[in-house]
């Protein structure tokens, strides 16, 4: 079973992510939280950014995180290859450890000026809607993959663990950016454990102290542990402005402008 899963890792990820994207696009129409109306071609641009990133990675890196984990397993290096826990325990511990690593990667993306230049392409979107979860600069995706390789090697994370986390991360990237209103008290309940759209929307606020908060990608635990949690946006979910002041013009939102954004000037870089 695990052999089949690993042999079809790329296809499984593609089908799951595609299916969740379509389901969330539909859910946004049926149960909108803010009723974001996309500007012309915006969704196509965001989806194109993810296709360009996938193409660039295919051309420059011959490895995926799962195939890298298989090479690590073959060489029997990393923590989990020494401790020999039962696999279900290792799976949960591996997912938690990988999520912690990605939380810190996200914090560094905001803290280190040249990393912020790559990551701000994601933050420059002026709408908060599911396709934003696909909009990352290809260089950020490459750096993130190299960082994941390092973490996988240190942990000795098994290929199946890495596949499970990759799928979770991709699904939560879509879910946490969706413009959907969760029914009843579900946002309050879910956010005790995982990132919800209302939780993550705060991270896309134009207000700097809110942008530099809620860095979690899957578990909300890390923002609670490391003091980076803001529960609600100060302007309220419906009126709040999304994006970055320097990149609001439509001319700065074209596909070429997004790809060149890391070398553009930000109006108020201040201490970032
Ligand atoms: Zn961010």
Nearest-angstrom CA–CA distance, 209 and 101: 22
Nearest-angstrom CA–CA distance, 155 and 214: 25
Q: Of 196, 184, 266, give the one whose Cα is nearest residue 231.
A: 196
Q: Tell me what the mean pLDDT of segment 242-247 comes to.
A: 93
% of the chain with per-residue pLDDT over 70: 97
Which has the minimum average pLDDT: 32-36, 131-135, 201-205, 217-221?
Answer: 32-36
- pLDDT for 216 equals 97
Q: How far is the CA of 84 from the centre of ligand 1 (A)?
A: 35
Q: DSSP states of 198-258 as a string?
A: HHHHGGGBSSHHHHTS---SSBSHHHHHTT----S-TT-TTT--BS-GGG-SGGGGSHHHH
pLDDT digits (tens, 9 = 90+) for 158-199: 999 999 999 999 999 999 999 999 987 899 999 999 999 999
Which tokens belong to 192? 């005790």
113 pLDDT band, cuts 50/70/90, is: very high
Residue 267 contacts residue 246 (beta carbons within 8 Å)? yes
Q: How far is the CA of 121 from the centre of ligand 1 (A)?
A: 10
pLDDT digits (tens, 9 = 90+) for 140-151: 999 999 999 999
Q: How far is the CA of 217 from the centre of ligand 1 (A)?
A: 10
Radius of gyration of the chain (CA): 18
108 pLDDT band, cuts 50/70/90, is: very high
Contacts (Cβ under 8 Å, ≥6 apart) of 198: 33, 182, 187, 191, 232, 237
- pLDDT for 93 equals 96
- pLDDT for 50 equals 94
Q: Tell me what the mean pLDDT of segment 5-14 comes to.
A: 79
Q: How far is the CA of 203 from the centre of ligand 1 (A)?
A: 7
Q: How far is the CA of 119 from the centre of ligand 1 (A)?
A: 7
Q: Is 266 helix (H, G, I), strand (E, B) or coil?
A: coil
- pLDDT for 271 equals 45
Q: 164 — phi, psi (to 5°)?
A: -60, -45
Q: How big, in percent rounded to 5, are the helix, strand and coil portions of the chain?
A: 65, 0, 35
Q: How far is the CA of 163 from the centre of ligand 1 (A)?
A: 23
Q: How far is the CA of 116 from the centre of ligand 1 (A)?
A: 9
Q: How far is the CA of 240 from the centre of ligand 1 (A)?
A: 17
Which has the minimum average pLDDT: 54-63, 71-80, 117-126?
Answer: 54-63
> Is the pLDDT reported for residue 272 higher than 50?
no
Residue 211 contacts residue 203 (beta carbons within 8 Å)? yes
268 pLDDT band, cuts 50/70/90, is: low
Q: How far is the CA of 107 from the centre of ligand 1 (A)?
A: 7
- pLDDT for 48 equals 95
Q: Tell me what the mean pLDDT of segment 71-92 comes to.
A: 91
% of the chain with per-residue pLDDT over 90: 78
- pLDDT for 1 equals 58
- pLDDT for 267 equals 73
In the chain, what is the straight-line distance between the N-terminal and C-terminal CA atoms, in Å? 47
């Amino acid at each position: 079973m695990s052999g089949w899963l690993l042999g079809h890792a790329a296809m499984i990820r593609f089908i799951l992510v595609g299916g969740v994207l379509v389901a969330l696009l539909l859910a946004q129409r049926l149960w909108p939280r803010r009723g974001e109306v996309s500007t012309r071609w915006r969704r196509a641009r965001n989806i194109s950014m993810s296709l360009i990133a996938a193409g660039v990675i295919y051309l420059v890196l011959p490895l995926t995180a799962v195939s890298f984990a298989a090479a690590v397993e073959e060489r029997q290096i990393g923590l989990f290859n020494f401790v020999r826990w039962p696999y279900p325990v290792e799976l949960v511990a591996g997912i938690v450890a990988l999520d912690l690593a990605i939380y810190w990667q996200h914090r560094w993306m905001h803290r280190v000026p040249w990393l912020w230049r790559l990551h701000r392409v994601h933050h420059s979107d002026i709408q908060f809607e599911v396709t934003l979860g696909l909009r990352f600069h290809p260089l950020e995706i490459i750096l993130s993959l190299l960082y994941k390789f390092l973490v996988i090697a240190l942990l000795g994370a098994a290929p199946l663990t890495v596949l499970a986390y990759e799928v979770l991360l991709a699904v939560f990237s879509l879910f946490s950016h969706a413009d959907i209103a969760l029914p009843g008290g579900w946002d309050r309940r879910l956010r005790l454990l995982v990132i919800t759209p209302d939780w993550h929307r705060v991270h896309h606020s134009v207000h700097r102290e809110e942008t530099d908060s809620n860095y979690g990608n899957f578990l909300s635990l890390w923002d609670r542990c490391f003091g980076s949690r803001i529960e609600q946006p100060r302007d309220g979910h419906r009126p709040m402005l999304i994006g970055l002041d320097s990149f609001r013009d439509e001319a700065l939102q074209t596909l070429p402008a997004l790809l060149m954004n890391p070398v553009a000037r930000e109006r108020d870089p201040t201490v970032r």
